[in-house]
Structure 1
Amino acid sequence: MFTQDYTAVGGSLGWSALIAVIPIIYFIWALMIKKMKGYIAGLTTLLVALVLAVVAFKMPVGTAIMSATQGGIYGLLPIGWIIITSVFLYNVTVRTGQFDIIRHSVLSITEDRRIQSLLVAFSFGAFLEGAAGFGAPVAISAALLVGLGFNPLYAAGLCMIANTAPVAFGAIGIPITAMEGPTGIPAIEISKMVGRQLPFLSVCIPFLLVWIMVGFKKTMEVLPAILVSGISFAVTQYLTSNFLGPELPDVLSALVSLVALALFMKIWKPKTIYRFKDEKVEEEKDLSYSGAKIFKAWSPFIILTIFISIWGIPKIKLALTGHYEGANSILLAVNKLGDWLTFMPHVPFVHNQVLNGVTQAPIEAYYKLEVLGAAGTAILLAAIVTKFIFNVRWKDWFSIFGQTANEIKFPLLTICAVVGYAYVVNAAGMTTTLGLVLAKTGALFPFFSPVLGWIGVFITGSDTSANVLFAKLQQVTATSVGMDPVLALAANSSGGVTGKMISPQSIAVAAAAVGLMGRESELLRFTFKYSIILLLFVCILTFLQSNVLSFMIP
């Protein structure tokens, strides 16, 4: 048995926190300063975490190693599985020539690269985040931008920054609903508060994306389009989160933003069309494709959207994982298959062998292998349907799949390593140690509350995981310092979304999607400062909402 000790180093919370933060500092140093390849940085960060967990936090060697294996397997399924299938589906459209038609259809709306980034990275990416989450939005939208002609680094970086606005309501609102259980606070109340924070970011993100691409002067040339994109998204996000709940803000906001911008581009054009330096004007812009051909070319992503939306419906999700207990005969049949394809073996030396340092309750640990219920399986099914629509031979279909898997083997290793690191530091109590230090900030806690979410998402790569990890701590600390607990929980989620773009897992996913293997350091340097700026914005907003803007709290 191992009991988490948050003052393991010299009996001091401060010294323990200094040790606990070392893996984070090391990872940033390894990528940004030493410019290590992603998988080397990931593996060495995991090694540093294992050593500190065993030596400094007195975690048994076997428990530490098995925690790493638990994370590594989670890195393969569901995260790695999503990346393989997403990139595979994109590669099928490229190999069959259908992506040329997709590219033309986007160009028919606008040839301006600035507007294309808003349509694909911001709006379409947000839609995928709302329907699927778990890396699929960045992987698919970044691949689409590369196919349109964007530099891979910019495509990945822009999509990661764009993914800030929708993350809190991703995967049908799971990050918000996950906080209801440990805190007892209704998800709708948390949703309302998050919906009174993130829209401020959502308005700014489109401007930030274009400004990063082209600078201030050229950004102002398309300000009307930026405002249409951002305001339509933000207003819809506020209304849906406050009056419908946490399930639909992303999906509806993305659709409204996408349609509004596309329609706006029919009545407004920028004075100059922005293209990348040395980019050739393609003659294909004069080609015309029938509506049927355009629909066929886009069908893989339409089918993908349908499948992942179905996979996100609560009752279906339960059936796909073998947990449905209703009376619907179709879902019962799916439930049998889901139960057969779901494996939940205990993690040796970890399951019920680690005791929470506060409650002393044993922590359950499983290898969570939900084969049918994984979002990647929904994407694979979309690829199977696409095979028949595009009349691809099975031999070629499997050949493309094999080539895709081979292309991203190193990013998969990176993902497994960094998720393994996250599981080790969580099981050792190192993440909670950092959270407890921030909880000691007293009257300044409203300012530092979002930082907890930022740290949680950086480590775990998931706003959902960060919310589950720190929700109770946020609630208890907020109550003790006179801060509204609903505001603290919202701050955890809103602060967390700003950490998504620099999370090791997110960087590995984005690098895999656009072929930047070995160049993860460039991607981290691209996004890091924007993560800090946006986090600071959320910190200031939360502090003001706890004081002079307290009327904004539901």
Structure 2
Amino acid sequence: MYHQVSAPLGGLGWSALVAALPLLVLFVLLGVFRVRAWLASLVGLALSLVVAIVAYGMPTGAALNSALEGAAFGLFPALWIVVNAIWIYQMTRRSGHFDVLRRSFARISDDQRVQGIIIAFSFGALLEALAGFGAPVAICSVMLVAVGLKPIKAATIALIANTAPVAYGAVALPVITLAKVTGLPLPDLSAMTGRQVPLLALIVPLVLIVVLDGKRGLRQAWPAALVCGGSFAVAQFLMANFGAVELTDIVAALVSAAAVLLLLRVWKPRPADPAPTSGVAPSGAGGAPTVVRTAAVRTDTRVDVVRAFAPYVAVIVLFSVAAVPAVSTALAHTTRTFSWPGLHVANAGGKPLSLALFKFDWLANSGTVLFVAGLLTVPLLRLRVREAVRSYGETVVQLRTAGLTVMAVLALAYVMNMSGQTATLGLFLAGAGGLFALLSPLLGWFGTAVTGSDTSSNSLFGALQVGAANGAGLSPLLMAAANSSGGVLGKMISPQNLAIGASAVGLAGKEGLLFRRVLAASAVFVPLMCVLVYLQSTPILSWMVP
């Protein structure tokens, strides 16, 4: 059995610097040298293996097995979810019903800024609440392209919007996991997290407006952004503190969408320019859109509209049914958990790592639910079986490079986690004493950026946050919640999600460009969350801690 070492080079500082090399190289290759994501991920993986074997003394076989388990996790469930989500879109596009969906959103509002908020934030939050694991980014990206956004902008909007709902995504799985690994009460953790992430919900729709149409968009469409974010934040806070934690994002998403629809009955955004008769006007100077309104070209029958929305209604219904406790328990009985062959790892305290256990939840899995929804889509859209099979094949081909990226990134994450590189970085940040409250969200951000999952980040650093809090005289509850709240901000720059977003809109290989687009948003949100958590650790905002 391999026993992790916290400071293999003697000093924690030098050990942390070496441990961070694979990630530093990965992000520099993506953001500076614009290397394709799959190649950058493979380079990062190779470097993590070298660090694990040479610096940490991890046996070569164990290091390679760690990478294999991570790659397997990337294949299932990560890619299984994304392939089936995009398959549904491919079938709606092939049948012509995605155009009906686009025109339906145009009838709700012919303003692309409002459409972007409803689709990326409200509908995306609902998908995150039910599925998570990349499905919101995959589905919302292609829906935004369908309403007239350029592919790179559509993927950027979908990634930025996929923040505030993440802490309670996948039926609150991140918070529930955090409670398990820390031993803290779930209601208290939910309440504390619900006093941090709603602040993001207030800001994110405003940022989306700026990304869509700059300062002009903010001047003209801020009421829609404020109503959407404000209603979501209030509903999320109330559910997280006083309701069923599993329903937090579901309620918040539905409330925000309803609030915007009610607003549109009494208010319309002022157009920047005269609306065109159809389509989208050309871009203005500097690539900024000069027209933000679209117009439906034809009138669809009620039957066409129902069929266009039917696949996504099926997704929501199936996920809702799967979340029912009795059904969820029954599905969980089909899950098989086993130790990954040849992988025996213990942490610095001598306890075996649960990460070496591979969970094969072939039926109780978001990807399987999406696959069933896809099967239902075939008769709902009156597609031939041959067309559905062809669409699935096209989806697999489209995602081939994204699949390699996802598998390589998760292989890198598992090598870093198993060898102890991640723990070294966490301990280095935890050594900041009282200032750890300022750095605490960075741990969650870092964990999600590497793994693409707030749930995985909480699994990695939840217990570490509590231990560091006790050593620094801080609230364990506050630091644990900060891990999850900070983690939601790492999702948009995770190579896994960048690959999903780029591939969904046909930009595989352009992940570096997408990374630079979303990095600015992450750079704004992360310091804001760090300052909030720090103030909550002081008398200024300590009244917010349960």
**Structures share a fold, TM > 0.5?**
yes
Q: Which residue of 2 aligns with 1:59?
A: 58
AA aligned to 1:138 is: V
Alpha-carbon distance, 1:286 to partner: 5.0
Matched, 1:348 2:348: no
Matched, 1:277 2:282: yes
Aligned to 1:546: 537
Give 3-state SS (helix, strand or coil) of 1:21's partner: helix
> Counterpart of 1:133?
132
Matched ranges for 1:203-242 at <5 A: 203-242=202-241
Aligned mates of 2:213, 2:203 — CA distance in 1: 16
AA aligned to 1:516 is L
- State which of 447, 457, 463 in structure 1 corresponds to 2:438: 447
Once structures 1 and 2 are overlaid, which stretch shifts more, 365-374 or 499-508?
365-374
Partner of 1:4: 4
Q: Which residue of 2 aligns with 1:515?
A: 506
| Secondary structure at the counterpart of residue 368 of structure 1 | strand
Q: Report SS of the residue matched to 1:222.
A: helix
Tell me the alpha carbon deviations over residues 329-350 of structure 1, each in whole angstroms, 9 at most, x when there is no partner: xxxxxxxxx3xxx444431221
Q: 2:125–2:136: 8 Å Cα contact kept in structure 1?
A: yes
Q: Is the 8 A contact 1:70 1:366 kept in 2?
A: no
Asked if the contact 1:83/1:512 (under 8 Å) is kept, the reply is no
Name which of 272, 278, 302 aligns with 2:313.
302
What amino acid does structure 1 have at the position aligned with 2:300? Y
Q: Does the 8 A contact of 1:300 with 1:386 survive in 2?
A: yes
Contact 2:536 2:542 in 1 (8 A): yes
Asked if 1:251 is matched to 2:242, the reply is no
Which residue in 1 is equivalent to 2:286?
Answer: none
Deviation at 1:12?
A: 1.4
The amino acid across from 1:471 in the alignment is G
In the TM superposition, residue 281 of structure 1 has moved relative to its aligned partner by 10
**Contact (CA 8 Å) 1:355, 1:363: kept in 2 or not?**
no
Which residue of the partner structure matches residue 276 of structure 2?
none
- Alignment match, 1:158: 157
Instruction: Supply the distance in 2 between the matched residues of 1:343 and 1:480 (Cα, whole angstroms).
Output: 38
Contact 1:311 1:375 in 2 (8 A): no
Q: Which amino acid aligns with 2:408?
A: A
Partner of 1:525: 516
- Cα shift at 1:99: 0.9
CA distance in structure 2 between the aligned counterparts of 1:235 and 1:446, rounded to whole angstroms: 25
Alignment gaps of 5+ in structure 1: 323-337
Letter in 2 for 1:80: L
**Matching residue of 1:475:** 466
Preserved CA contact (<8 Å) 2:113 2:292 = no
CA distance in 1, matches of 2:452, 2:292: 39
Structure 2: distance between partners of 1:291 and 1:268: 26
Task: Report what 1:535 is aligned to.
Answer: 526
8 Å CA contact 2:272–2:292 kept in 1: the answer is: no
Check the 8 A contact 1:411/1:512 in 2, yes or no. yes
Give the drift of 1:314.
Answer: 4.2
1:457-510 C-alpha deviation (Å, 9 max, x unpaired): 111111111111111111121122221111111111111111111111111111
Q: Specify the code of the residue in structure 2 equivalent to 1:475.
A: V
Pick which of 508-517 and 489-498 moved more. 508-517
Q: Distance in 1 between matches of 2:368 and 2:221?
A: 39
State the Cα distance separating 1:362 from its structure 2 match: 5.4
1:77 equivalent in structure 2? 76
CA displacement, residues 281-311 of structure 1 (integer Å, 9 cap, x when unaligned): 9997252223332112100000011112223
Q: Please identify, of 307-316 and 249-258, the stretch whose mean Cα deviation from structure 2 is larger.
A: 307-316
Of residues 43-52 and 119-128 in structure 1, the stretch that sits farther from structure 2 once superposed is: 43-52
Q: TM-score, normalised by structure 1?
A: 0.93
- Matched residue type, 1:6: S
Distance across 2 between alignment mates of 1:73 and 1:268 = 50
* One-letter amino acid of the structure 1 residue matched with residue 156 of structure 2: G
Residue 442 (structure 1) shift: 0.5
1:488 is aligned to: 479
1:422·1:460 contact (CA, 8 Å) conserved in 2? yes
Match of 2:168 in 1: 169
Given that 2:7 and 2:15 are in contact with CA atoms closer than 8 Å, whether structure 1 keeps it comes out as yes
- The one-character-per-residue Cα deviations of 1:347-403 (angstroms, maximum 9, x if unpaired) are 1221xx211112444556234322222211111111111111122111111111111
Q: Deviations over 1:125-174 (max 9, x none)?
A: 00000011111111111111112221111111111111111000001111
Indicate the SS of the match to 1:134: coil
C-alpha distance in structure 2 between counterparts of 1:317 and 1:62, whole Å: 37
Change (3 A) 1:395 1:3: same
Q: How has the CA–CA distance of structure 1 residues 55 and 498 changed in structure 2, closer, same or farther, with 3 Å as cutoff?
A: same
Question: Against the structure 1 CA distance between its residues 203 and 142, is the aligned structure 2 distance closer, same or farther, given a 3 Å change threshold?
Answer: same
Match in the other structure for 2:301: 290
Structure-2 separation of matches of 1:536 and 1:187 = 26
1:29-428 superposed matches below 5 A: 29-272=28-271, 277-278=282-283, 285-322=296-333, 338=334, 342-350=335-343, 353-361=344-352, 363=354, 365-428=356-419
Contact 1:112 1:273 in 2 (8 A): no
Secondary structure at the counterpart of residue 339 of structure 2: coil
For 1:292 and 1:391, the matched residues in 2 are separated by 12
Residue identity (%): 40
Q: 1:496-526, CA deviations, whole angstroms, 9 ceiling, x for partnerless residues?
A: 1111111111111111211110100001111
Q: Which residue of 2 aligns with 1:432?
A: 423
Preserved CA contact (<8 Å) 2:112 2:294: no
Q: CA–CA distance in 2 between the matches of 1:362 and 1:409?
A: 31
Please tell me whether the aligned partners of residues 446 and 488 of structure 1 are also in contact (alpha carbons under 8 angstroms).
Answer: yes
Matched to 2:423, the amino acid is T
- CA distance in 1 between counterparts of 2:200 and 2:293 reads 35
Residue by residue over 1:63-115, the C-alpha shift from the partner in whole angstroms, topping out at 9 and shown as x without a partner, is 01111110101101111011111111001001001111111100001111111
Q: Which runs of 4+ in 1 moved over 6 A?
A: 279-284
Which residue matches 1:333? none
2:193 and 2:295 map into 1 onto residues whose CA distance is: 44
Q: Is the 8 A contact 2:110 2:294 kept in 1?
A: no
Counterpart secondary structure, 1:483: coil
Aligned partner of 1:483: which letter? L
- Greater mean alpha carbon deviation, residues 308-317 or residues 491-500: 308-317
User: 2-side partners of 1:177 and 1:263: how far apart?
Assistant: 33
2: CA distance, partners of 1:286 / 1:179: 49
What is the aligned partner in structure 2 of residue 331 from structure 1?
none
